[in-house]
Amino acid sequence: MNQEQADGEETGIALINLMIQAMDSVTKLRQWFYETNGLTPVQFRALVILFEADKKGMTQSDLSRKLNVSRANVTTLIDRMEAKGYVRRSSNETDKRSLYVSITEQTANMMQTLLPKSDLFVKETFAFLSQEERAMMRRIANKVIDSMNEASAKIIDAKRKE
């Protein structure tokens, strides 16, 4: 038994596995919500980002960064969403090498209906937590994200210096 276990704390691996298990449970519920509305999780995230953008939309590169996916992946995503009529591409007048992507009017109307449903679904999903527990979960999640991003940046920086 190591010191962490003796103190009643989770081991590092156990804590990571617990976080993954919790996220998997949430993901399964959200997956059901997306599928019942004809979307994939990444399509929903992209549509929310585009819905919150201004009317002209944003460049594919900007969407790629906000989704934290490669440009190739966002191109495939946009191709599929464009085929379904969710988004449209338009030329970027200031940079002919890039395209803007924006939601269609029909998608904007769909999102105005879907976002309140999504908010209610999330609220109901986490109804077992008190307001204080949800605030604590948010603080801890942000702390984990910030810490992991910082650690990743250090690793990438060290690799570049090699």
148 assigned to some structural domain: no
From the number of C-beta atoms within 10 Å of its C-beta (0-12, 13-18, 19+), residue 42 rates as: middle
126 assigned to some structural domain: no
What is the CB-side half-sphere exposure of residue 152 using CA atoms within 13 A? Answer: 6
Report the CATH number at residue 77: 1.10.10.10
pLDDT at 160 over 90: no
Query: SS3 for 31?
Result: helix
87 assigned to some structural domain: yes
Taking only the tens place, the pLDDT of each residue in 4-13 is 444 556 678 8
Residue 8's pLDDT is 56
114 assigned to some structural domain: no
Q: Which domain holds residue 70?
A: 12-108
Positive or negative: CA dihedral 78, 58, 27, 122? negative
143 assigned to some structural domain: no
41 assigned to some structural domain: yes
Q: What is the pTM for the complete model shown?
A: 0.73
Taking only the tens place, the pLDDT of each residue in 6-37 is 455 667 888 889 889 998 998 898 889 899 98
